Amino acid sequence: MNRMKLIVAVLLMSVATGLAAPKPPAAKVGPGFFIVGDNGFNRAALFNREGVLLWQYKSSRVYDVHLLPSGNVLFTHDGGVTEVTPAKKVAFQYKTKSEVFSCQRLANGNTLIAECTAERILEVDPKGTIVKEIKTQSPSKGHKHMRCARKTAAGTYLVAHLGEQVIKEYDGDGKILKEFKTPWNCYEAHRRANGNTVATGESGMIEFDPDAKVVWERTAKDFGAVNMKWIAGMSIGADGRIVLANWLGHHQEYKGDPIVMLSKDRKVIWSYKDKARQTNKVTGVRHYDALPKAMAAQIKAQGGKDTAPPMKAAAPKTKKPAKNKKKNKDKKTPKAATH
């Protein structure tokens, strides 16, 4: 009888303290998968949240990159825009002599391409034929003319004019409808479903309402330990979480976390620290909860990761102080970083 009482007492205590009920598994934080445009290692590279390199395609100076529903990968590079299959066969290609920093696959199958130095945005059909051209307007020329261009659901175009520090919204005829002035060199803009516009750039990110009034702004210093240097590409999920590319160029290599995820209220909830140095100067980023079937099948056929070894970078060299230089002589004001 005493033994039975002891067993009952233990069971009651377990229930009271919650030990009898199994704990639910902890929710995983961070994107399931993310693909980056890595212009330091010259490739498009797909990772899972644990940092395993699943797939890569080498091409010179990859900036913008998209994993399409078909499993194909669309990206910019020196000389144009290319789409490749998971098996790395070319499915689409557009060639140009202009610098190209962004591309976007449109709902009708055409591709939006931003030609920076040619000062125009194009819609190109699957055969590579230009079906629409809009001349972009900015006093900032050449390399600083623009970065990303995105077509909105309303059919307008958001263009980040980096050097002019403004996001301009163009209609289908090339007329400027609206301007969103940024306090820094801007890189990419995204139109939310509520009509607001989010923009990234050299020193932070900002959101405007439809009247171009600032809703909120964050500077690079507000991101804390991830050590944000230059916010370039961004990916906003349906749940409101935002994944950012922290571009670490201009002697900032490995001085911060290259990929950062924010909650919908803009708090840092995850970052890819890249301790193995598998990236180098990440500019574009897109994140996904699951992979398209064709890409998942390709990765499985490869044994669960890319068949090529990851490209690890050497530690950045530290500059030795120059000898026999007079202090405070011929000092020049440092130029703002652009890429």
d(C-alpha 282, C-alpha 26), whole Å: 29
Number of H helices and E strands in the chain, helices first, is 2, 24
Residue of 80, 67, 70 whose CA lies nearest to 284: 67
Residue of 256, 263, 280 whose CA lies nearest to 58: 280
List, in order, residues 6 or more apart from 118 with CB less than 8 Å away: 96, 97, 98
Run of H or E residues at 11: helix 2-17
Kindly state the average pLDDT of the residues 151-175. Answer: 98
Q: Which of 76-80, 159-163, 328-332 has the lowest mean pLDDT?
A: 328-332
Kindly state the average pLDDT of the residues 222-229. Answer: 94
> Which pTM value belongs to this model?
0.86
DSSP at 168: E
**Across the strands, what pairs with 160?**
167
Is residue 333 pLDDT above 50, yes or no? no
Kindly state the average pLDDT of the residues 249-269. Answer: 93
Q: Which pLDDT band, with edges at 50, 70 and 90, does 250 fall under? A: confident
Q: How many CB atoms lie within 10 A of CB 326?
A: 6
Kindly state the average pLDDT of the residues 187-203. Answer: 97
Q: Would you say the C-alpha torsion 298, 302, 308, 311 has a positive or negative sign?
A: positive
Is residue 280 pLDDT above 70, yes or no? yes
pLDDT tens digit string along 68-126? 999 999 999 999 999 999 999 999 999 999 999 999 999 999 999 999 999 999 999 99
Is residue 308 pLDDT above 60, yes or no? yes
Q: What is the pLDDT of residue 5?
A: 57
3-state secondary structure of 14: helix
Q: Which pLDDT band, with edges at 50, 70 and 90, does 29 fall under? A: confident
Q: What is the pLDDT of residue 309?
A: 75
d(C-alpha 97, C-alpha 99), whole Å: 7
Q: What is the pLDDT of residue 131?
A: 98
Q: Parallel, antiparallel, or unpaired: how do β-strands 186-191 and 43-48 relate?
A: unpaired
Is residue 324 pLDDT above 80, yes or no? no
Region of 189 please: left (phi>0), alpha (psi -120 to 50) or beta.
beta
Angstrom distances, CA of residue 114 to CA of 36, 88, 94, 145, 281: 18, 24, 12, 11, 20
Kindly state the average pLDDT of the residues 256-277. Answer: 95
Domain boundary assignment for the chain:
31-301
Which range, 7-11, 108-112, 312-316, has the best average confidence (pLDDT)? Answer: 108-112
Kindly state the average pLDDT of the residues 65-70. Answer: 98
- Cβ 198 vs Cβ 217: under 8 Å: no
Q: What is the pLDDT of residue 321?
A: 61
Q: What is the pLDDT of residue 28?
A: 73
Q: What is the pLDDT of residue 317?
A: 61
Kindly state the average pLDDT of the residues 191-206. Answer: 96
Q: What is the pLDDT of residue 251?
A: 86
Mean pLDDT (the chain) is: 89
Residue 8, class by beta-carbon neighbours within 10 Å (0-12 exposed, 13-18 middle, 19+ buried)?
exposed
Q: What is the pLDDT of residue 68?
A: 98
Pick the CATH number of 31-301 from 3.90.550.10, 3.40.50.800, 2.120.10.30, 3.40.50.720: 2.120.10.30
- Cβ 189 vs Cβ 160: under 8 Å: yes
Percent of the chain with pLDDT over 90: 79
d(C-alpha 255, C-alpha 126), whole Å: 40
Question: Greater confidence, 22 or 245?
Answer: 245
